[in-house]
Structure 1
Amino acid sequence: MNEQNVDGWERALSLAIGLAGIGKGVRRGGVSGWLEVAAAVLVVKRGLTGRCRMKALLGDLQQASVAEVHPLPEPATRRGPGRTGKR
């Protein structure tokens, strides 16, 4: 996965949320705070590089599921017994 799949406002928002998460995690401290820092660092990385592996994976899964959908056959016009279609 070398191409960018995140751009514009999405990248800027990732940077802002990631930096805020790092600050919040550092202030919280402890194991849960450092886990928050680790997750926030990944969000900052997403904003800086413009690449998101999870977004690419979800896009691939969506394309695969759409490709597997088969259209239903057109419903046949049903006429009851004794009907000729004339009025």
Structure 2
Amino acid sequence: MTPPNLWQLLIILLIVVLLFGAKKIPELAKGIGSGIKNFKKAVKEDEEDGQNEENTKSQIKQSESKNENVSKTPADSHKQDA
């Protein structure tokens, strides 16, 4: 498939101007741009939330393992042996 030539692009541009009007085209472009910007921002925030959740889970596991080690006193280990 070949790319459109200059005349085809001009015809498409003319149809767009007739359908939407010259004043609406910048507003449409601005709306599309802000939509893309918001989408990228949401994806970035979602990725950061996922990373934060993973960090939190690993910190919880580390603190639980530390608590288990601290809670085992020598008296507790003798009780388990008996």
Q: TM-score, normalised by structure 1?
A: 0.31
- The structure whose RCO (Cα within 8 Å, separation 6+) is larger is 1
**Relative to total residues, which structure has the larger helix share, 1 or 2?**
2
